[in-house]
Copies of this chain bind each other. A is one copy, B any other.
Amino acid sequence: MATDFTERTVEYDKLLADFKTLLKEKALKFTNQREKILETLYYSQEHLTPEALHQLIKEKYPELNAGIATIYRTLSMLEDNNIVSSLSFGAQGKKYELGAKDHHDHMICTKCGEITEFVDEVIETQQHKIADEHGFKMQDHSMQIYGICKTCQEQQ
């Protein structure tokens, strides 16, 4: 039976292979910077701001000397190709995450900032219904629930 680490590696290898294929299809180049950005997004498994992602990469690969502009450029490119998705929370700035996983919405703790992901079929269905009723051609949606997480409630 495979360990978590092995599974992750296999999954990442597939992600990377697909990424290379995509780049080739679009006549884009496979660079060290692009590889490390994808890898860091994958292994951090978090919702990262471009700035946070830049920090992580500078720490792990200082010799890469990656510039912040490249982080922004690559995140935009990845988003255009549906490899990552971005969230804009109440405060300023966007956070990015690998979109390889299925669509989901977010619950955000206003005390500790913890983000919980969830999917709810009732809501997904209802959203389409609402759009239809308004003659609106739905492309996407975004839903956030704000509140206090279990841990923070217990601490108070």
On chain B, the residues within 8 Å of A120 by CB distance are 126, 130
Q: Would A110 and B134 count as touching, CB distance under 8 A?
A: no
Within residues 66 to 116 of chain A, which ones have a CB less than 8 A from any CB in chain B?
A: 86, 88-90, 92, 94, 107, 109-110, 116
A44, B150: Cα distance in complex, Å: 41
Copies in the complex: 2
A142, B142: Cα distance in complex, Å: 8
A77, B110: Cα distance in complex, Å: 19
Q: Would B138 and A147 count as touching, CB distance under 8 A?
A: yes
**Residue of B whose beta carbon sits closest to that of A152:** B137
With an 8 A cutoff between CB atoms, is A16 at the interface? no
Q: Would A153 and B137 count as touching, CB distance under 8 A?
A: yes
